[in-house]
Amino acid sequence: MSTEGPVLVVGAGLLGTSIALALRRRGVDVALRDVNPENLRIASGLGAANVEDGAVEPRLVVVAVPPDLLGEQVAAALRDTDAVVTDVGSVKSAPLGVVRALTPKHVGRYVGSHPMAGSERSGPFAASASLFDGRPWAVTPHDAASPEAVAQVIELARLCGATPVTFSPEEHDQAVARTSHLPHLLAAVAAGRLTDAPREHLALSGQGVRDVTRVAAGDPELWQQIVSANTDALTVLLLEVRDDVDALLGALADGDRSRLGVVLDRGVAGTAVIPAKHGGPSRAETTVFVAVPDHPGELARLLADIGEIGVNVEDLRIDHDPGREYGLVELSVASDHVDHLLASLDDRGWTAHR
Amino acid sequence: MSTEGPVLVVGAGLLGTSIALALRRRGVDVALRDVNPENLRIASGLGAANVEDGAVEPRLVVVAVPPDLLGEQVAAALRDTDAVVTDVGSVKSAPLGVVRALTPKHVGRYVGSHPMAGSERSGPFAASASLFDGRPWAVTPHDAASPEAVAQVIELARLCGATPVTFSPEEHDQAVARTSHLPHLLAAVAAGRLTDAPREHLALSGQGVRDVTRVAAGDPELWQQIVSANTDALTVLLLEVRDDVDALLGALADGDRSRLGVVLDRGVAGTAVIPAKHGGPSRAETTVFVAVPDHPGELARLLADIGEIGVNVEDLRIDHDPGREYGLVELSVASDHVDHLLASLDDRGWTAHR
């Protein structure tokens, strides 16, 4: 395996072009390939490549094509080069199986990976060198993977600004089934029930249903491919979901509150095990609501005041009032700063409450 | 029925105390009642009441007690006074049934209502006069409701700053089953699957699973009562959910992509029918990501720059990077302003991408 030469990125979509841009930002030589000449032209125009594809033997090939094509494209790259090959698909076991079947003797040079960024947009126009900054990037070595190949893929994640996290392909697929694919399917199911509703009923939609269903707007063709590639892990979880739905139906039919409580309590426990965004221990936060006129500059004035008050904002949402000219801004701040913040905002003329 | 006299609020929790404060803000006389003297002391300390309970006959009684107690408390208020009586519970048909059974001859003075605000916090300390400002407030007259009673409850919603929306009790319950109760249950089911996961798998949690599961953190005791009171509407929807889950399991078992596609496509359609936050027609919005140092004042500087650039921010989220000293800020802006915004932010030294 060569240790010099450029990185060849196959597929100049959102992820491929972003990886190329991130590598160019670090001075790494990059060649780009795509069956669509328009994608290639756009990505090259953004400065994503500096080496002609085919001019030099690559040291690393990054396959960034749709899930259905991953296995055969990885296998082709292994046959055509001596490079380490990785991919950036959302599912890892199925493409590995295809690669093993197609090129068993080269599979040691393949190590899959999965950057946790960017799935609801698409195309090279949406690409960015900073797409992966600070994001987790799963690296998924299989039993026969060479240590050098693993090291090169971990190095790729680091060069792109991400934080590499190592899993076996099976563990990865089980993890994303729970943390991404099942939530997506349940969001789609919840959103699907809204399509039958009389439109006037939807006037009662609040922030809750917006949050639960938001991801269901993602590209259904892409999600068909992702879900189909993670059948085993998702089937286990969907059977558990069916048990929960049956338990809820039974509890409603029997008026059995304790069975309702089991599902609701487990939901509370589930929200508590998601790691804090900072990655560190979860801090107690409190939500504060502030009324803000709905004009450019007003939100900035609020944030400037909060900056002067000296309180850090952990998260922020804007909830526009349906019938009014201002929005409600939800601020998450450390709970022990809330009283000080509310009093100080009141002094500065803002209408705020917790 | 008297048309003078104070409003009596029964239950000095979050909603009751907030209604009392909102009415006092408008100069309306308010008396307050609670079985818990501590709640009453706190609410009175906040200025929520100016009339001694029992000193004057009320013209309107607002029952703001937990769902399980609603029906009997409304019936007691109808028997004990000549006032119009309303409640602010999340479900409307079940308490109406209790009231009809307990005091059939007084039911015309009862009109249920449901302000769409504030369910994940509790207690009078969290109360605010502005809690209902600009929020929808469902008013749910039944067949035997007197027109004067309906008018008084609509007036209550207006006095509290909310926008009244009228539904029959059954329509209301069907609407919130879709827009609130089912999303809550599916969020709990999705979150529940996380409790079985090895902790290291949860490192792959992104914004998607956080959004889908957020509401599942709500008080499970309260939600048991809400769900139990809306059995009929929820049973219909949960049977449809079970059909969807069976369809997904069948599609995965058979490798049948088109059946997956039906569920995913309906999910996309469902996200599109939720009204825009402005209440007007949904506008095309695009998400822009900006890296912002994680210090007080930096977010204000960004928003000030955007204000000067002249682009209105429709929504904003902060995604803290796990391993870094800055956050990624997601801005939603009108799609036709994105190119201008990105170029202008770049000019001002921000790292931004779509």
Would you call B193 and A234 a contact, using CB atoms and an 8 Å cutoff? no
pLDDT for residue B121: 62
Which chain A residue shows the shortest CA-CA distance from B253?
Answer: A231
Per-residue pLDDT tens digits for A321-351: 444 556 678 888 888 888 889 889 988 888 8
Give the span between the Cα atoms of B341 and B333, in whole angstroms. 9
| B37 burial level (CB within 10 Å; 0-12, 13-18, 19+) | exposed
Mean pLDDT calculated for residue range B67-80: 96
- Most confidently modeled range among A122-126, A160-164, B59-63: B59-63
Give the span between the Cα atoms of B287 and B221, in whole angstroms. 37
Least confident stretch, A92-96, A119-123, A291-295, B132-136: A119-123
What is the nearest CA distance from B170 to chain A, expressed in angstroms? 11
Q: Which residue is it, tokens 């319950």? A: B173
Predicted confidence band at A271 (pLDDT cuts at 50, 70, 90)? very high
More confident residue, A280 or B235: B235
Q: How many CA atoms are closer than 13 Å to the CA of B211, on its beta-carbon side?
A: 20
Encoding tokens for residue B82? 């000549």
Give the span between the Cα atoms of B185 and A100, in whole angstroms. 41
Decide if B26 touches A, using CB distance below 8 A. Answer: no
pLDDT for residue A309: 87
What is the nearest CA distance from A162 to chain B, expressed in angstroms? 9
**Amino acid of residue B286:** T
pLDDT for residue B277: 56
Decide if B55 touches A, using CB distance below 8 A. Answer: no
Per-residue pLDDT tens digits for A92-105: 999 999 999 999 99
A 288-327 residues inside an 8 A Cβ radius of B: 289, 291, 294-300, 303-308, 310-324, 326
pLDDT for residue B326: 61
Decide if A37 touches B, using CB distance below 8 A. Answer: no
Give the span between the Cα atoms of A293 and A20, in whole angstroms. 42
Q: Is B143 helix (H, G, I), strand (E, B) or coil?
A: coil
Q: Which residue is it, tokens 């500087």? A: B301
- Most confidently modeled range among A113-122, A165-174, B39-48: A165-174
Predicted confidence band at A3 (pLDDT cuts at 50, 70, 90)? low
More confident residue, B137 or B290: B137
Least confident stretch, A170-179, A273-282, B16-25: A273-282
Mean pLDDT calculated for residue range A158-184: 96
The hierarchical CATH code for the domain B172-273 is 1.10.3660.10
Topology at the third CATH level for domain A173-273: 6-phosphogluconate dehydrogenase C-terminal fold (1.10.3660)
Which residue of B191, B317, B328 is in closest CB contact with A271?
B191
Per-residue pLDDT tens digits for B81-125: 999 999 999 999 999 999 999 999 999 999 999 998 864 567 888
Q: What 8-state DSSP symbol labels residue B284?
A: P
Which chain A residue shows the shortest CA-CA distance from B214?
Answer: A271
**Amino acid of residue B317:** R
Of B65, B14, B1, B54, which Cα lies nearest the Cα of B31?
B54
More confident residue, A181 or B122: A181
Per-residue pLDDT tens digits for A274-310: 986 544 434 567 788 887 876 667 787 888 888 888 8
Topology at the third CATH level for domain B285-353: Alpha-Beta Plaits (3.30.70)
Predicted confidence band at B15 (pLDDT cuts at 50, 70, 90)? very high
pLDDT for residue A229: 93
Yes or no: say if B188 and A233 are a contact pair by the CB < 8 Å rule: no
Contacts by residues A28-37 (CB-CB < 8 Å, ≥ 24 positions apart):
A28/A159, A29/A5, A29/A56, A30/A6, A31/A6, A31/A7, A31/A55, A31/A56, A31/A58, A32/A8, A33/A8, A33/A9, A34/A10, A36/A12
pLDDT for residue B353: 79
Q: Is A264 helix (H, G, I), strand (E, B) or coil?
A: helix
More confident residue, B334 or A248: A248
Which residue of B184, B191, B193 is in closest CB contact with A237?
B193
Give the span between the Cα atoms of A319 and A323, in whole angstroms. 12
pLDDT at B197 over 80: yes
What is the nearest CA distance from B55 to chain A, expressed in angstroms? 31
Note the helical H segments in A214-320: 220-229, 231-254, 257-273, 298-309
Q: Which residue is it, tokens 């309180």? A: A311
pLDDT at A215 over 60: yes
Give the span between the Cα atoms of B138 and B162, in whole angstroms. 10
More confident residue, B313 or B51: B51
Would you call A212 and B217 a contact, using CB atoms and an 8 Å cutoff? no
The CATH class for the domain spanning A7-167 reads: alpha beta
Encoding tokens for residue B309? 């650039």
Longest dimension (CA), chain B: 72
pLDDT for residue B279: 45
**pLDDT-above-70 percentage for chain A:** 92
Q: Which helix (H) or strand (E) holds B246?
A: helix B231-254
More confident residue, B1 or B19: B19
More confident residue, A185 or B205: A185
More confident residue, A185 or A208: A185
Mean pLDDT calculated for residue range B164-191: 97
**pLDDT-above-90 percentage for chain A:** 65
Exposed e or buried b for every residue in A306-333, given b needs 16+ CB within 10 A?
bbebebbbbbbbbbbbbebebbbbebbb
Calculated CA dihedral for residues B251, B252, B256, B260, nearest 10 degrees: 60
Q: Is A13 helix (H, G, I), strand (E, B) or coil?
A: coil
pLDDT for residue B53: 93
- Residues forming CATH 3.30.70.260 domain(s) in chain A: 285-353
pLDDT for residue B190: 98
Give the span between the Cα atoms of A337 and B133, in whole angstroms. 25
Note the helical H segments in B106-230: 147-159, 169-176, 182-194, 207-213, 220-229
Give the span between the Cα atoms of A157 and A138, in whole angstroms. 9
Least confident stretch, A191-205, A325-339, B15-29, B246-260: A325-339
**Amino acid of residue B146:** S
pLDDT at A4 over 80: no
Would you call B303 and A307 a contact, using CB atoms and an 8 Å cutoff? no
Per-residue pLDDT tens digits for A68-82: 999 999 999 999 999
pLDDT at A23 over 90: yes
Longest dimension (CA), chain A: 72
- Residues forming CATH 3.40.50.720 domain(s) in chain A: 7-167
Chain B residues within an 8 Å CB radius of A299: 303, 307, 313, 316
| B64 burial level (CB within 10 Å; 0-12, 13-18, 19+) | buried
Across chain B, mean pLDDT equals 89
Q: What 8-state DSSP symbol labels residue B182?
A: H
pLDDT at A35 over 70: yes
Strand arrangement, sheet containing B60-63: B30-33, B7-10, B60-63, B84-87
Least confident stretch, A136-140, A272-276, B33-37: A272-276
Encoding tokens for residue A256? 């059995």
- Residues forming CATH 1.10.3660.10 domain(s) in chain A: 173-273
